[in-house]
Amino acid sequence: MVPRLADEGLYVASESTFYRVLREHEQLHHSGRARPPLKRERPEHVASAPNQVWSWDITYLRGPVRGAFLYLYLVVDVYSRSVMGW
């Protein structure tokens, strides 16, 4: 509002005063349809024996030619930390 009023040659109050008055009257809220983000618990995977939970990773390795890469896809057992596949 302050820049628009300044373009018209009007000065009512500073920008911080506008924000202070809006905050005092609880008018300083987002008026869109978006909801605030929900706090969700992240799933936790716990392994008490081998072959219950596996994890994976992709690693980029330098190739034989400059600018070329090899992709190592690795699957690991979380409990025993053994490689299950690549």
pLDDT tens readout for residues 42-58:
889 999 999 999 999 99
Predicted pLDDT at 11: 87
Give the pLDDT confidence of 5-30 residue by residue, as tens digits.
888 888 888 889 988 998 899 888 77
Task: Decide if pLDDT at 72 tops 90.
Answer: yes
Which residues have a Cβ under 8 Å from the Cβ of 51 and sit 6 or more positions away? Answer: 77, 79
Contacts of 58 (CB under 8 A, 6+ apart): 71, 72, 73, 74
Instruction: Tell me, yes or no, if the pTM score tops 0.95.
Output: no
C-alpha closest to that of 45 among 77, 84, 83: 77
